Amino acid sequence: MIFYGMRTFVKQLGYMYQTALCGSCQAQVRQAVIREWSWFTLFFIPLIPLWKSYFVVCPNCGKKTKIKKRDAKSMIMQ
Ligand SMILES: [Zn+2]
């Protein structure tokens, strides 16, 4: 029997350099920028990297909004 599947690793890249209004909870917050990296796994071992997605996450309500990679880089505090 072969066990295969997908696993996603989440890394917090930083915080936005300025606060933004959350579209969900209407809070003016400094949102976190995260990267989700999905891997194909075989017998629970990550073997093949599939895709990376970038999001901003509201720390108040947890709403995730997908963003582009180049936007993620320019949004993060240096
Ligand atoms: Zn929110």
Residue pLDDT tens, the chain, 78 long: 899 999 999 999 999 988 999 999 999 999 999 999 999 999 999 999 999 999 999 999 999 999 999 999 998 876
Amino acid making up residue 6: M
Please, which residues have CB less than 5 A from ligand 1, an ion? 22, 24-25, 58, 60-61, 63
Q: Calculate how far, in angstroms, residue 62's C-alpha sits from the geometric centre of ligand 1.
A: 6
Please tell me the distance from the alpha carbon of residue 41 to that of residue 76, in angstroms, as a whole number: 30
Rounded to two decimals, what is the model's pTM? 0.85
Q: Calculate how far, in angstroms, residue 42's C-alpha sits from the geometric centre of ligand 1.
A: 36
